Amino acid sequence: MPLCFALNRAALLGGIIICKVQLQGDPFGLPSFSPPRLPVAGLSAPAPSHAGLPVHERLRLDAAALAALPPLLDAVCRRQAELNPRAPRLLRRLEDAARQARALGAAVEALLAALGAANRGPRAEPPAATASAASATGVFPAKVLGLRVCGLYREWLSRTEGDLGQLLPGGSA
């Protein structure tokens, strides 16, 4: 795992959610607020059964999720720029998250290839996922969907980190 990824990971994971919530206003900042878990076309949260799969299969799932995240994060960033153009810190964090997901996805793909477990055939981009993130109608649904995409980013980065850790000495690959 690249050193820059390890150093920036904590700031990105927590920071993007905190920054997004702080800028959205009520009800997002209220302690009792629990946003609906909207479905995101082309990407779901890691399933509990993910942990029981062989490490190579988990890494394939991680790579697929990491490939789906950048267009979603880009769409959320564009929509957020429309909704709150005076939020350069959030926009920068969204751009950083998309860039980091791309880099980590490429690293996981390279690792899979080096292990002889690369995905078979070309992988198509998830156009439906990008369209769903960009087309949320109304301000509140767009904010909720943006928060959901940020949450998925956090979940998949954490899962990928754990899966990569299984390949280290002492890991249970």
Residue among 135, 156, 154 at smallest CA distance from 145: 135
The pair phi, psi for residue 100, each rounded to 5°, is: -70, -40
Q: Is 134 helix (H, G, I), strand (E, B) or coil?
A: helix
CB-based contacts of 80: which residues, under 8 Å, 6+ apart? 20, 87, 90, 91, 94, 146
What is the helix, strand, coil percentage profile of the chain, to 5?
70, 0, 30
The average confidence (pLDDT) of the chain is: 78
Is the pLDDT higher at 47 or at 169? 47
pLDDT by residue (tens digit) across 131-156?
Answer: 455 555 677 888 888 889 988 999 99
Look up residue 42 and give its DSSP letter: T
Supply the pTM of this predicted model. 0.77
Is the pLDDT higher at 38 or at 159? 159
93 with 18: CB under 8 angstroms?
no
Window from 4-8, 27-31, 116-120 with minimum mean pLDDT = 4-8
78 with 134: CB under 8 angstroms?
yes
Residue among 66, 76, 63 at smallest CA distance from 130: 76
Q: Is 23 helix (H, G, I), strand (E, B) or coil?
A: helix
In DSSP notation, 51-113 reads GGS-HHHHHHHHHHHHHHHHHHHHHHHHHHHHH-TT-HHHHHHHHHHHHHHHHHHHHHHHHHH
Rounded to a whole number of angstroms, the CA Rg of the chain reads 16
